[in-house]
């Protein structure tokens, strides 16, 4: 990758401060060229503004100056990801992107309109957010197609984690969020450490952890705002486990150097692992209007039947849910059976692990639910362990894949 930083970044940051509110021919100039694809100054300005707004930082020339290099590199990586998806004939539909937008709005307890209106008032175009989602979805599709089949987690590996968890004593679970910045080469060490320090300082000064994770984290959890869910510390690598074990709820940790890069961790909460009957569920959801017509119901039932036919396994379901379902499709996590509605509980009790229910009428539409694992009292969630091991390995392979794309690319940064 050929890189050429040419301009004074403070001067550029000053220009960007006005570029978000005034349109001129200048902002269409290339900030970078990635294999003949142009990233404009407007692209950089908009993404920088989005990063500032979402992380709740002050919009000053100094803040923008610190962020410009990082934003440019993120945009370059996104272009490389989109180009690779195009090379593999992977197409991301507008519906998939809109579902991602709806999910983020829901996480922020807003409607899509409220979210986009709020961003627009702060100088961020909706297309800026959608472009980021499109690149993220495209890359997940690339990774799933090219790499997932090469990752096989053995029963022995799962048993090893379980043995470690059981040897750790009473089961304490912690709700953990992560930001990961990979160090690909020794020459990147100082730069990545500085980025990690800056991100940590921003969070300590009131920046939103999940928003920053979405913007800069390089792990699969970035799209979820860094949320790893409830984990026992034994499910983490040794370097992270030693840091998290003694951390109380609300602790912000890092940067922690591991063999692959730097982590910033947030321990949001902790609890004792409950000994109750639980199930791990994923679903296809098909929305219906408040007063559905016969045609509406028939169409939803047809989509549900199609989803059941195409379902192969829980491991492949996340991508399939994106493609076939509506907002609300995806991983429901591990839930207590007693907390489920009676109709849903009855349906899943008749389904074996790895199978789906027929279409069930639920609030707002129809659902097809996959039973991914059952846990008896005191049981261990083997599927959750398998999925974390799989995702950790996929993260490593995906970083190497992206590094290869960078090395073979022709990139000219003109700032």
Q: What is the mean pLDDT of residues 301-310?
A: 94
**pLDDT-derived band of residue 169, with 50, 70 and 90 as boundaries?**
low
Q: Is the pLDDT of residue 111 over 70?
A: yes
- Count of CB atoms situated within 10 Å of the CB of 271: 12
**Percent of the residues in the chain that have a pLDDT greater than 70, as a whole number:** 91
Among 11-25, 37-51, 210-224, name the most confident range.
Answer: 37-51
**pLDDT-derived band of residue 7, with 50, 70 and 90 as boundaries?**
very low
- Domain 1-92+134-171+380-415 matches domain 278-375 at the CATH topology level: no
Q: Mean pLDDT, the chain, as a whole number?
A: 86
Domain coordinates in residue numbering, the chain: 1-92+134-171+380-415, 178-272, 278-375
Question: 24-58 burial, b for 16+ CB within 10 Å, e for fewer?
Answer: eeebeebbbbbeeeebbbbbbbbbbbbbbbbbebe
Q: Is the pLDDT of residue 5 over 50?
A: no
Q: What is the mean pLDDT of residues 143-161?
A: 92
Among 1-5, 11-15, 65-69, 118-122, name the most confident range.
Answer: 118-122
Q: What is the mean pLDDT of residues 402-415?
A: 91
**pLDDT-derived band of residue 378, with 50, 70 and 90 as boundaries?**
low
Q: What is the mean pLDDT of residues 67-73?
A: 87
**pLDDT-derived band of residue 381, with 50, 70 and 90 as boundaries?**
confident
pLDDT tens figures, 205-262: 888 899 899 889 988 888 888 998 888 888 888 889 989 988 999 999 999 999 999 9
**pLDDT-derived band of residue 383, with 50, 70 and 90 as boundaries?**
confident
Between 3.40.50.10490, 3.40.50.880, 3.10.50.40, 2.40.50.140, what CATH number should domain 178-272 receive? 3.10.50.40
Q: Return the pLDDT at 357.
A: 95
Among 144-153, 161-170, 313-322, name the most confident range.
Answer: 144-153
Q: What is the mean pLDDT of residues 156-183?
A: 85
Q: What is the mean pLDDT of residues 193-198?
A: 92
CATH architecture under which domain 278-375 falls? Roll (3.10)
Domain 1-92+134-171+380-415 CATH superfamily: Porin chaperone SurA, peptide-binding domain (1.10.4030.10)
Q: Return the pLDDT at 337.
A: 84
């Amino acid at each position: 990758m050929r890189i050429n930083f040419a301009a004074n970044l403070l001067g550029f940051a000053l220009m960007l401060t006005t570029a978000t509110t005034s349109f001129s021919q200048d902002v269409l100039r290339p900030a970078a060229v990635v294999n003949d694809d142009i990233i404009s100054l407007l692209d950089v300005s908009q993404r920088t503004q989005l990063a500032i707004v979402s992380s709740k930082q002050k919009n000053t020339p100094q803040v923008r100056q610190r962020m410009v290099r990082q934003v440019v590199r993120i945009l370059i990586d996104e272009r490389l990801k989109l180009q690779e998806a195009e090379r593999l004939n992977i197409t991301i539909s507008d519906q998939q992107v809109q579902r991602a937008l709806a999910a983020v709005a829901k996480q922020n307890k807003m409607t899509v309109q409220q979210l986009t209106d709020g961003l627009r008032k702060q100088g961020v175009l909706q297309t800026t957010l959608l472009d980021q989602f499109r690149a993220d979805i495209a890359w997940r599709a690339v990774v799933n197609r090219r790499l997932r089949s090469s990752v096989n987690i053995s029963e022995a590996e799962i048993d090893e984690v379980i043995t470690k968890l059981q040897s750790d004593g009473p089961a304490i679970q912690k709700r953990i969020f992560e930001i990961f910045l990979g160090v690909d080469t020794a020459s990147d060490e100082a730069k990545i450490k500085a980025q990690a320090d800056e991100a940590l300082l921003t969070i300590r000064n009131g920046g939103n952890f999940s928003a920053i994770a979405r913007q800069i984290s390089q792990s699969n959890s970035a799209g979820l705002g860094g949320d790893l869910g409830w984990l026992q510390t034994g499910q983490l690598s040794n370097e992270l486990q030693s840091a998290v074990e003694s951390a109380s709820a609300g602790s912000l940790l890092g940067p922690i150097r591991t063999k692959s890069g730097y982590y910033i961790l947030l321990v949001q909460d902790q609890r004792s692992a409950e000994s109750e009957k639980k199930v791990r569920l994923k679903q296809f959801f098909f929305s219906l209007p408040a007063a559905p017509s016969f045609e509406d119901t028939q169409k939803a039932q047809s989509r549900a039947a199609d989803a059941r036919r195409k379902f192969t396994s829980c491991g492949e379901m996340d991508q399939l849910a994106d493609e076939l379902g509506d907002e609300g499709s995806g991983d429901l996590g591990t839930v207590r059976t007693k907390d489920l509605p009676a109709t849903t509980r009855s349906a899943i009790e008749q389904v074996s692990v790895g199978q789906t229910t027929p279409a069930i009428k639920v609030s707002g539409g129809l659902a097809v639910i996959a039973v991914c694992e059952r846990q008896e009292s005191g049981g261990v969630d083997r599927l959750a362990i398998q999925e974390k091991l799989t995702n950790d390995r996929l993260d490593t392979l995906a970083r190497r894949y992206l590094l290869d794309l960078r090395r073979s690319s022709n990139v000219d940064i003109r700032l």
